[in-house]
Amino acid sequence: MLNGFFCLYLQSKVTLSATVCLFMRKMITILGPTASGKTSLATALAVRIGAEIISGDSRQVYRNMDIGTGKDLDDYLIDGRQIPYHLIDIVEPGTKYNIYEYQHDFLNVYDEITKRGVPIILCGGSGLYIESVLNGYKLMPVPQNPELRKQLEGKGLAELTEILVSLKQQNHSNMHNTTDVDTSQRAIRAIEIETYYAQTPVEGRNAPIIDSLIIGVNIDREERRRKITDRLKQRLDNGMIDEIKSLLDKGIPAENLIYYGLEYKFITEYLIGKTTYKEMYEGLEIAIHQFAKRQMTWFRGMERRGFTIHWVDAKNSMEENIKEIERLWQ
């Protein structure tokens, strides 16, 4: 690494075993918990440095799931200028997009943008997805295991979580954070993946060496809680329930929406008559607060795993934070 430039060893399905030296600035990663203002910071910075944004969000990949996933696409239009973004609205709702697909899609987009010599900002709050491209997890598609799924049928979330923790310890794996496994469906899939890796030793292809300046947006806990509550009310007022109802009306099974967790889980359960509006609202508000706490736990874990995260304060002005990022980026 010299003066912020780097040589990228790129092995992907697009360019197998190719060595590409890219004389460009390192990528900037902006991460933070929900409601921290990371997207607005990323788009403002993108205008300043002429960058394109790659989303690091596990749910914003789905089309027609806009309000519930907090895409905030208006943030990508600044003073009449559209900020190019990637990995948003790329798959149909009801499908189960996974981390393998994300890594594959990220590398393709990353390769295409770097060939044009354009700066890249990776922005999101899905710690596992972000870490998978920064850390170079060796990923491969994992097929479903019907026999294993049958064995796991009927087990509660607590028992499934214990199984997952045991497998993670055996595999020395960071692939799944148990706090992110909030439904039995997700837990079973996580166990399926870890079991496959335990039983199928793989060399795996080398992931690209992606040098990135990592910026974390730190927000005061009480301010974060206030913003989460305010934003939830705003999204409900803006039609989030109708958005999810329209997905059900299109024939997407309720269990597929519940699989996505948070807004989709609680509102779907309300729409199918499983809970009252009051139960839905109170349960969802608590769940989002817990999710934000888990996000911060993941990011602190990244630091323990060797990543350097430069934290900026959400209370600062946008200009202050952009100047600090530019200083670090030099």
pLDDT score at 157: 86
User: What pLDDT, in 10s, does the model give residues 55-107?
Assistant: 999 999 999 999 999 999 999 999 999 999 999 999 999 999 988 899 989 99
User: What pLDDT, in 10s, does the model give residues 238-252?
Assistant: 999 999 999 999 999
pLDDT of 328 > 60? The answer is yes
Q: Kindly list the domain boundaries of the chain, sorted by start residue.
A: 5-139+204-329, 146-199
Instruction: Residues 5-139+204-329: name the CATH superfamily.
Output: P-loop containing nucleotide triphosphate hydrolases (3.40.50.300)
Mean pLDDT on 252-260: 96
Mean pLDDT on 259-263: 95
Provide the pLDDT confidence category of residue 206 given band limits of 50, 70 and 90.
Answer: low
pLDDT score at 97: 92
Mean pLDDT on 306-329: 97
pLDDT score at 175: 60
**DSSP code string of 200-250:** S----PPPP---EEEEEEE--HHHHHHHHHHHHHHHHHTTHHHHHHHHHHT
Report residue 146 as tokens: 């019907």
User: What pLDDT, in 10s, does the model give residues 210-234?
Assistant: 899 999 999 999 999 999 999 999 9
Distance of alpha carbon 76 from alpha carbon 183, whole angstroms:
32
Residue carrying structure tokens 């934000």: 292
Provide the pairing of β-strand 81-82 with 5-10.
unpaired
User: What pLDDT, in 10s, does the model give residues 267-313?
Assistant: 999 999 999 999 999 999 999 999 999 999 999 999 999 999 999 99
Distance from the first to the final alpha carbon of the chain: 12
What b/e sequence results for 13-50 when a residue is b if at least 16 CB atoms lie within 10 Å of its CB, and e otherwise?
eeeeeeeeeeebbbbbbbbbbbbbbbbbbbbbbbeeee
**With the C-alpha atoms ordered 170, 197, 298, 268, is the resulting torsion angle positive or negative?**
negative
